[in-house]
Amino acid sequence: MSSISIKFPDGSVKEFPKGVTSEQVAESISPSLKKKAVAGKVNGQLFDFSRPIEEDASIEIVMQDSKEGLEMTRHSNAHLLAQALKRLYPDVKLGIGPVIDNGFYYDVDMSHNLTPEDLPLIEKEMKKIVNENLPIVRKEVSREEALEIYEKLNDHLKLELIRDLPEGEKITIYEQGEFFDLCRGPHVPSTGKIKAYKLMSISGAYWRGDSDNQMLQRIYGSAFLSQKDLDEYLHFIEEAQKRDHRKLGKELELFMFSEEAPGMPFYLPNGQTIRTELENFSRELQRQVDYDEVRTPFMMNQRLWEQSGHWDHYHENMYFSEVDDTKFAMKPMNCPGHMLIFKNKLHSYRDLPVRMAEFGQVHRHEYSGALNGMIRVRTFCQDDAHIFVTPQQIESEIKNVFKLVDKIYSTFGFEYSVELSTRPEDSMGDDRLWEQAEGALKNVLEDLGMNYHLNEGDGAFYGPKIDFHIKDALKRSHQCATIQLDFQMPEKFDLTYVDENNQKVRPVVIHRAIYGSIDRFLGILVEHFAGAFPTWLAPVQVKLIPVSDVHNEYAYKLQEDLKKHAVRVEIDTRNEKMGYKIREAQMKKIPYMLVLGDKEIEDNAVNVRKYGEQKSETVSYEDFRDKILAQINEKR
């Protein structure tokens, strides 16, 4: 028998018989390695454990607990689900079953209308197949064989997939017991390697994502390598559902949506209070570092967007109108308006940097299926700023923006990471300016000692950018702040300032947002704090609860004093039981409840119950007021 050379990651080479499998190679190293592995990476391509290697190759053994091993396990979970469905519902036709984040799904065509009550039965059958430990075997077939197999089954879904495959492409079928499925693979060696999974939900899905095609039933599942990991994920899902900003937004009366304005939030008083606090917090910090606040029109002439470059790169996401036979567009961004303001007067180099900020309402068209509460909307407020600088000021100004970002995010307890995005394919401008811009951003990141991820080709069309990703209480990542360096728009708008040689030269523009979208940031905060906002941000900071009507006068006296100190306070004078009033205030997640009775009046005191705590304590009213004012002032 002829032999082949197998090269290992450490550079060593060993001879094996031609047709050796990754499984046999792993076993030759150690039996324990074979037990923990699920595949081989042969010349960079994933091979099933039992697939023969026919020529000299390099190999890496793929462990099941690796990223690739987990994805293979999840792919095999999809086949496990399909086999269980075939056993329980013989008429089922299988569409596609890909891997997704944290699991898998399978789209199927069947006469039985699946409900959540069916999922435990299907899981039980899946468990049975796992216990059977069926080998999962790869089989190559010709196009003609594949068509013949699925024509006999009258399976129109698989036939369509086969016919759409490019000529000459290898076609593979994977078998496990009586079940087989058209699939590229690879898969784990046997069904016994599948450990921890749970079917999550059922939904409708158009075949191949095309609304002109038939509607199929989609079954979603989660899959992990251990029950512990699965349980942690299920707990995460449960916690995320409790924190869902759409649910809490309704319960806490923060915002609403209406069919009269799809994807456009209506702020209720509580939500508007939070939004105002967010704006004022940022506004004050910006004032301290010499930003000037401006406001630009919601709608401007279409030619402005053609001039800025947004028309070529963004018009499909814009809204348009016509007034007096002139075409106008709702602004999707604030930049062009700020360019016009800068151009409104002559600037000297002594004026720069010019820091121009706006809480600007923008409109962007999103498909209805993409809308998601406050996270994805069609109109939102950007905390936008444009800083007009000399080339020499670029790096120092960007460092100042970093300080501002850090101050704001640390106030909310957000950790963050950064990402540098470079020139995209649809960019405008010459190579020299792009290289200069990207170099400036890299210099700042390196000077600040920031670890950053390089995201090639994902910059804005007018310049490279640094994006900030915050992590919420559930460790989910959200991209919010951004710093974008722009040499292009000053050219487009013919912006100039007079330099020290009395020459007109171009400024450079730094685009900057920190919340990004205030609406989206609010949605993130709702989930981050689970609706229990820190005292300074809470819509109602204090709830006064008199024990009976005779204590109302004292409550009104305290309310008047707290309002004088700008504390947001309400009184509950309803004829309800004390326990009911306290529970309701807890449900509204109000930071402080003050119970007022005879003893409190006598001692000019308050009985304080803090949100989330069972115990209460009686303190003097002045001590409580000083404490809460300190929390508000210190943004706690």
Q: How far apart are CA 367 and CA 422, in angstroms?
A: 27
How many other CB atoms are found less than 10 A from the CB of residue 572? 17
465 is catalytic: yes
Residue tagged active-site, from 34, 158, 243, 364: 364
Q: How far apart are CA 111 and CA 114, in angstroms?
A: 9
Tell me if 613 sits within 8 A of 586, measured CB to CB. Answer: no
Residue tagged active-site, from 74, 75, 138, 335: 335
Rama region for 521: left / alpha / beta (φ>0; ψ in -120 to 50; rest)? alpha
Buried/exposed 439-471: b ≥16 CB within 10 Å, e otherwise: ebbbebbeeeeeebeeeeeebbbbbbbbbbbbe
Of the candidates 283, 303, 392, 387, the one whose C-alpha atom is nearest the C-alpha of residue 339 is 387
Q: Where are the beta strands (DSSP E) in 305-449?
A: 320-323, 326-330, 354-363, 379-389, 415-421
Tokens standing for residue 261:
């304005």
Residue tagged active-site, from 41, 86, 355, 465: 465
187 is catalytic: no
Q: How far apart are CA 219 and CA 31, in angstroms?
A: 37
503 is catalytic: no
335 is catalytic: yes
Q: How far apart are CA 79 and CA 124, in angstroms?
A: 15
The identity of residue 498, as a single letter, is V
Residue tagged active-site, from 217, 286, 382, 488: 382
Tokens standing for residue 44:
């960079």
Residue tagged active-site, from 48, 155, 383, 384: 384
Hey, which residues does 216 pair with through a beta bridge? Answer: 205
Of the candidates 515, 490, 516, the one whose C-alpha atom is nearest the C-alpha of residue 504 is 490
How many other CB atoms are found less than 10 A from the CB of residue 401? 22
Residue tagged active-site, from 198, 511, 528, 568: 511
Tell me if 185 sits within 8 A of 67, measured CB to CB. Answer: no
511 is catalytic: yes
Residue tagged active-site, from 198, 378, 386, 423: 386
| Residues noted as catalytic | 335, 364, 382, 384, 386, 465, 511
